[in-house]
């Protein structure tokens, strides 16, 4: 059997035992809290992982793009929630095609013109579509403002014969990585209280809102305790990353609810005084955070980006010798954009490569 240390580097390595442990832990947690899990698949963009999430009880998956939705439906996944607005005919045409194959797909909307455009294309195809109102509870990104603007939008949806209002999508992206559990708890409760007030107002106006979709890997165990939350859309828990580890958990300075399961394997290609160079740089790691990757099993070494294909290891006080030809595993700085840099995930058990899964196309993904 192929050993993972013989793979050409850089490459993605998924420790299956840790990965399945993460899936099991989240599955048990949401089952105990009687909240549903519709995990976000923009983290992995990998049908095999979505299938394993569904097999462990997830009610469907979230996707961020029409291309992700297409790939998942083609792989037999149902119960999709598209968490970003689809604007313009190229995407709306594809959405209608998708609805034919996956009629229970839901799409977020955040403005009256968008609802009108969606109603037109769905009606023309003789279909029905479920929609969630995308609510801005503090992220300052997409989403309609809570309260009266959301009620007007709900009324518009209710008057649209081919759309069915299923609830609210209230993602607090500004809270997901807030550092310190108590801080995160307060911020998330504050944000979600805006969604609950809006839900109440819309119900008083006669709207049925069975779904309130919220949350992230940072707040899964906060939001699931809030009465009224019906489902959690956490994604990163399957892999984990440096960023989530830094935010701390309810009991620890390091967030260890889930294990770092996904790493980048790199090779030391140069060694000189006080430094080593690995073959993994800007094209191997996510660069959107102010910190880089961290070695999985070695301390006293700091990674610095050093070009497209190069990373510099500053050997401050390495806990083991670092030699040319060594293969090293790095935790990802930020898992979602990091996974997006690869075509494949190499699944390992111990030293053996036991499976290879495909990550969907970077751009496109038509069927």
Q: Give the binding site for its own copies (CB under 8 A).
A: 6-12, 42, 64-67, 84-91, 94, 110-111, 113-114, 139-143, 145, 173, 267-272, 275, 277, 279, 282-283, 286-288, 305-310, 312, 324-325, 327, 334, 336-337, 340-344, 361-364
What are the φ/ψ torsions at residue 162 (nearest 5 degrees)?
-100, 5
Given the complex with its own copies, which of 35 and 278 has the nearer CB atom? 278
Tokens of 105: 């797909």
Smallest separation, CB 144 to its own copies (Å): 9
Round to the nearest angstrom and report the end-to-end CA distance of the chain: 34
Buried b (16+ CB within 10 A) or exposed e, 86-105: beeeebbebbbbbbeebeeb
ω into residue 273 within 30 of 0, thus cis? no
Q: How far is the CB of 258 from its own copies (least distance, A)?
A: 19
Of 37 and 341, the one with the shorter C-beta distance to its own copies is 341
Q: Output 114 or 167, the one with its CB closest to its own copies.
A: 114
Three-state SS at 176? coil
Which is nearer to its own copies, 32 or 308 (by Cβ)? 308
In whole angstroms, the minimum distance from the beta carbon of 353 to its own copies comes to: 12
Is 33 or 275 the residue whose CB approaches its own copies more closely? 275
Rounded to 5°, the CA angle 85-88-93 comes to: 95
* Residue at token pair 């707040």: 219
Q: Are 219 and 184 in contact (CB under 8 A)?
A: yes
**C-alpha distances in angstroms, 46 versus 132, 239, 259?**
24, 12, 19
Q: How far is the CB of 78 from its own copies (least distance, A)?
A: 22
| Residue 264 beta carbon to its own copies: minimum distance, rounded to whole angstroms | 10
Our CB check for its own copies shows the closer of 53 and 216 to be: 216
Least distance in angstroms from the C-beta of 155 to its own copies: 19
Nearer to its own copies by Cβ, of 35 and 131: the residue is 131
Strand pairing report for 344-349 and 352-358? antiparallel
Least distance from C-beta 332 to its own copies, angstroms? 13
Q: From CA 298, how far away is CA 116, in angstroms rounded? A: 56
Give the sign of the dihedral formed by CA 342, CA 344, CA 350, CA 351.
Answer: negative
């Amino acid at each position: 059997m192929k050993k993972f240390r013989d793979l050409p580097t850089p490459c993605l390595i998924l420790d299956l035992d840790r990965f399945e442990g993460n899936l099991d832990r989240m599955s048990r947690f949401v089952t105990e809290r009687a909240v549903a899990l519709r995990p976000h698949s923009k983290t992995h963009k990998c049908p095999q992982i979505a299938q394993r999430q569904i097999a462990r009880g997830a009610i469907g998956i979230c996707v961020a793009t029409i291309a992700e939705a297409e790939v998942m439906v083609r792989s037999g996944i149902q119960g999709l929630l598209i968490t970003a607005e689809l604007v313009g005919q190229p995407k709306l045409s594809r959405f209608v095609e998708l609805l034919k194959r996956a009629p229970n797909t839901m799409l977020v909307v955040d403005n009256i013109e968008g609802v009108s455009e969606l109603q037109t294309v769905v009606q023309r195809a003789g279909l029905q579509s479920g929609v969630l109102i995308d609510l801005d509870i503090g992220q300052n990104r997409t989403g309609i403002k809570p309260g009266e603007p959301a009620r007007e939008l709900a009324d518009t949806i209710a008057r649209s014969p081919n759309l069915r209002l299923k609830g609210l999508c209230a993602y607090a992206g500004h809270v997901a990585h807030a550092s310190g559990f108590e801080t995160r708890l307060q911020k998330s409760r504050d944000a979600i209280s805006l969604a609950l007030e809006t839900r109440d107002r819309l119900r008083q106006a006669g709207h049925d809102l069975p779904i309130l979709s919220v949350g992230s890997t940072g707040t899964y165990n906060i939001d699931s305790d809030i009465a009224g939350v019906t489902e959690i859309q956490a994604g990163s828990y399957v892999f984990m990353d440096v960023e989530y580890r830094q935010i701390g958990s309810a009991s620890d300075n390091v967030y260890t609810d889930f294990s770092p399961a996904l790493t980048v394997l790199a090779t030391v290609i140069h060694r000189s005084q006080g430094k080593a160079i690995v073959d993994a740089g800007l094209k191997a790691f996510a660069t959107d955070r102010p910190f880089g990757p961290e070695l999985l099993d070695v301390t006293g070494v700091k990674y610095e980006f050093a070009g497209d294909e190069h990373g510099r290891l500053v050997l401050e006080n390495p806990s083991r010798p670092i030699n040319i030809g060594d293969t090293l595993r790095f935790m990802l700085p930020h898992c979602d954009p990091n996974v997006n840099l690869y075509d494949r995930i190499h699944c390992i058990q111990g030293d053996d490569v036991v499976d290879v899964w495909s990550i969907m196309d970077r751009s496109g993904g038509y069927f």
